[in-house]
Amino acid sequence: MSNAETEVTTLSQRPQRADARRNYEKLVSAAREAFAEDGTSASLEDIARRAQVGIGTLYRHFPTRQHLLEAVYVDEVEAICRSAADLADLEPWDALVAWLRQFVGFAAAKRAIAQEMLATIGSDAEVFRTCRGEIATAGDALLGRAQAAGAARADANFTDIGRLLGGISSIQADPEQIERILDIVIDGLRARPAGS
């Protein structure tokens, strides 16, 4: 795998000073937790309290709720892209399957944040275009490895797979059913011997 395939581009601009960077990271982490527990309308005061910083510190880093939503969204995208590189030691098929399973959880978790962001910016906004590109790069690299090893269907592409996974992540069903549906998709992605 080339450096381009394993390197994760930083999508957001984090502060350079150590104390500012720590506060930024604490705020993003606190916001992620608050959004998971209370939805995207979680109070900014509660997020600042969770991060153990003042509300002024929150506003210095994130002048609006939209800025904070985008930071959490980008942080999640960076994490799922890093996880693709972290799987490089696995066999190509195993790495692809592990990442596809992670991706479904990622897509389900980011859905509410993305919808909130879409209320104020369009789906073609730079943040979405950049994030889609980074996810596609990570997914294409894993899929390409599995295809080169003869483990994944040669006619598959990550755009189609990503849409399937996005659909699966939006299903309102129990986790066992989601897992069965994902197993069916993964089985359909497996390369078959000629004539079978």
Query: Quick check: is 6 in a domain?
Result: no
**Looking at 63, 84, 100, which one is the last position of a domain?**
63
Instruction: Tell me the residue range of the domain where 155 lies.
Output: 65-196
Question: Each residue of 108-133: pLDDT tens digit?
Answer: 878 888 888 888 888 888 999 999 99
Q: Name the domain count of the chain.
A: 2
In which band, very low, low, confident or very high, does the pLDDT at 20 lie, cut at 50, 70 and 90? confident
The CATH number that applies at residue 111 is 1.10.357.10
In the predicted model, is pLDDT for residue 194 greater than 80?
no
181 burial level (CB within 10 Å; 0-12, 13-18, 19+): middle
152 phi and psi, to 5 degrees?
Answer: -115, 150
pLDDT for 114 equals 87
Question: Each residue of 52-65: pLDDT tens digit?
Answer: 999 999 999 999 99
Same domain, 129 and 103: yes
